[in-house]
Amino acid sequence: MITPDRTVSTTCPYCGVGCNLQLHVKDELIYRVTSDFDHPVNQGNLCVKGRFGYDFIYSNKRVTTPLIRKQAQAAGARTQAFDRSEWREVSWDEALEYTTDRLVEIYKRDGEHAMAVYCCAKATNEDNYLLQKIYRALFRTNNVDHCTRLCHAGSVTALLKSINSAAMSNTAAEVIDSDCFIITGSNPSENHPIIGLQMKAAVEKYGSKLIVIDPRKIEMCDFAALWLPLKPGTNVPVFNAMAHVIVNEGLVNREFVEARTTGYADYVKTLDKFTPGYAEEISGVDRNLIIDAARMYARAQRGMIFWGMGISQLSHGTASSLGLIHLAFLTGHVGRKATGLNPLRGQNNVQGASDMGAMPFFYPGYQWVDDEKNAQNWEQLWNVEPGGLNRKRGLTTTEILTHAHPGGVRALHIMGENPMMTEPNLNETRKHMQQLEFLVAQDLFINESGAFADVFLPATSWAEKEGTVTNTDRRVQRVRQAIAPRGQSRPDWEILCDLAQRIEARLGRPNSAIWNYDSPAQIMAEFGKLDSNYTGITYERLERHGLQTPVPHATHPGTPFLFAKDFPSGRGKFIPVDYVPIMEPPDEEYPFILTTGRVLEHWHGGSMTRNSALNEIYPSPVVEIHPVDATWANFTDGQPVRVSSRRGAIVLRTRVTEKARAGVVFMSMHFAEAAANLLTNDALDPQAKIPEYKACAVKIEPAAEADLPHPEIRTERGRW
């Protein structure tokens, strides 16, 4: 048995659960990963990604030297075809000087509206804080966003409207103390596997009742007391019908409603048409299941609601999230242990990146950028002249690329994101990427978006850096360096500090020394001065198991659940919502509804797991189709098919399974060679600006074996 030189405690770089990892290092090689059995998040348990998915850091496709494209790309001439011969290796000094020259040139010529940045939910809190600070304090733009716009923007918008807080209210592990919990629009056993384990234990060991509301027969349905198999996009009728039952059967928690909410009377009037029968007609869910679910949740002493992107990634994602919030208000299942409103965050630091102000509307701490007092406070902290910060709300992720044209956004800085995999309607996204004048890619790999870049800044992996991340429970935890950086790669925060000092000097502004940080801990101390959620957090206090925000002062123990006494808004607001159908229902030409999601072995755009041995376990994309549909369309399991929408087409194999719902097909989002987002609809929720990934119309036709994409298409494009 190998004896490690050292074992380093850190936090998993994958989903939002935030599991503890123990990295065993021998001769500067991570050879094994275990976990701390005493850790409150995962109690020693790890999923396949956490335990085995770390080898991407050793991939021969990693880029560890700064690169500049040999010939500047004209707007409109960019190509996604990756060719190593187009790039030259350069020193860090040359790469950063070139980046500074081009960014400052565009800013001086076209102003702040021409500048934009994508922060990163895989990067640390400190990285994200610095990147949004650079673009706000130096380039004076609020065109700052990250993947939350593509994940939970509908949830965030709804929560802010109703209670003025966007975070998950409780700790996921509290589910074992619940009497009843709802899972909707989420597949925890694959997307958040350790939380999925806790949910299974809640049912099997502690007797909690589970209600699953989802179009697919996910694994959690095997543990459920009730499964409501609704059609994609019909959440609002089902949730409102449950509310209708709760109100009409006298199951409302009157004391809670009267003491802690407002708008109840007007809201109840809008429920009249949402009978269980009406919801059945629209959603396909048996009215008796809706009635039983309403009673089960309302009669529980402690009820929890967990939801995922199947709720938020719709053109009515805000309305769907509000429907869930109303159920918690009606029953009083919020503000206590083992209750609450719990949107499960997808990436390891999507909560933290949002906390850090990586959004176009907020400074760190969800402080509105168009509030004068907020702007003045950040100007003072950042040593910006009075009135220097932009008071205008910026463009969202989806709007940044649609504004990429002469007179609009000209320069884009992407840290760790991959819009050419994650945006909807990728053929249209490609056109927008081609219109950029200058693109900076800061990452580990040259991915589908980095192939368009003019300069590439190689960053270290999570195992080669220090920092913090904030999980879906609001738990802030340490990320610790276990091994030396590969090649010339540098931690993101160091890259950004170096770049910021050069930009500041080139702009001719006095050197304020606000970019001279000694460590990520010093960066955290800075944003904690104005963000009360983090004021009491220091690296020393995070040493063992982290702290759950808010942590308002140095001796505060952290906050396992929120809203015990009141909401940030004072009273919770009932906000009536009506049913709005999906933007693109099936028809004779496109008879199926496509919905998208993730699988256990892979993660999001695939830049990590597709460069890992995990790819050998799940190497190819499939489209799930129900046996009834397969028989009707004369498809067999494993058959090559062409799936087409009004926006594009891809070829892949079928997987005939009862996991799918009749009339609905499912694809994962991880495979560049058959990118689901070539098909998805870029229609937006008008309030949250989130695309409708979870429902669009498609047709499926037979294809030939020769039409299938080569499995190495991504590998060869990215190999160094």
pLDDT of residue 605: 85
pLDDT of residue 512: 66
pLDDT of residue 275: 98
How buried is residue 161: exposed, middle or buried, by Cβ count under 10 Å (0-12/13-18/19+)?
middle
Q: Return the minimum-mean-pLDDT range out of 302-306, 509-513, 618-622, 716-720.
A: 716-720
pLDDT-derived band at 717, boundaries 50, 70, 90: very low
Averaged pLDDT, 664-673: 95
Interval 427-484: pLDDT, tens? 999 999 999 999 999 999 999 999 999 999 999 999 999 999 999 999 999 999 999 9
Q: Return the minimum-mean-pLDDT range out of 141-150, 265-274, 394-403, 562-571.
A: 141-150
Whether residue 436 contacts residue 75, with contact meaning beta carbons closer than 8 Å, is answered with yes
Q: How far, in Å, CA of 209 to CA of 5, rounded?
A: 47
b/e 475-514 (16+ beta carbons within 10 angstroms → b): bbbbbbbbbebbeebbbbbbbbbbbbbbbbebeeeeeeeb
Q: Euclidean distance between the first and final Cα of the chain, in Å?
A: 34
Averaged pLDDT, 366-391: 96
pLDDT of residue 166: 87
pLDDT-derived band at 714, boundaries 50, 70, 90: very low
Please determine, for residue 163, whether its predicted confidence score (pLDDT) is greater than 50: yes
Q: Of all residues in the chain, what percent carry a pLDDT higher than 90? A: 91
pLDDT of residue 719: 28
Averaged pLDDT, 267-291: 98
pLDDT-derived band at 81, boundaries 50, 70, 90: low
Question: How many CB atoms lie under 10 A from the CB of residue 377?
Answer: 16
pLDDT of residue 346: 84
Please determine, for residue 716, whether its predicted confidence score (pLDDT) is greater than 80: no
Question: Which domains, from first to last, does the chain contain?
Answer: 6-58 (2.20.25.90), 67-145+363-516 (3.40.50.740), 153-344 (3.40.228.10), 592-718 (2.40.40.20)
Indicate the Cα dihedral angle 141, 347, 602, 706, nearest 10°: -30
Please determine, for residue 355, whether its predicted confidence score (pLDDT) is greater than 50: yes
Please determine, for residue 69, whether its predicted confidence score (pLDDT) is greater than 70: yes
Q: What is the DSSP string of 210-274?
A: EEEE-SS--GGGGG-SEEE-PPTT-HHHHHHHHHHHHHHTT---HHHHHHHEE-HHHHHHTTTT-
pLDDT-derived band at 150, boundaries 50, 70, 90: confident
Averaged pLDDT, 15-23: 97
Q: Per the omega criterion (within 30 degrees of 0), is the bond before 550 cis? A: yes
Please determine, for residue 153, whether its predicted confidence score (pLDDT) is greater than 90: no
Q: Of all residues in the chain, what percent carry a pLDDT higher than 70? A: 97
Distance of CA 543 to the CA centre of its chain: 26
pLDDT-derived band at 718, boundaries 50, 70, 90: very low
Averaged pLDDT, 91-109: 98
pLDDT of residue 720: 26
Average pLDDT of every residue of the chain: 94
Q: How far, in Å, CA of 414 to CA of 422, rounded?
A: 13
Whether residue 142 contacts residue 397, with contact meaning beta carbons closer than 8 Å, is answered with no
Q: What is the DSSP string of 385-404?
A: PTT-S--S----HHHHHHT-
> In the Cβ-directed half-sphere of 541, how many Cα atoms lie within 13 Å?
20
Interval 388-423: pLDDT, tens? 999 999 999 989 999 999 999 999 999 999 999 999
Question: How many CB atoms lie under 10 A from the CB of residue 152?
Answer: 33
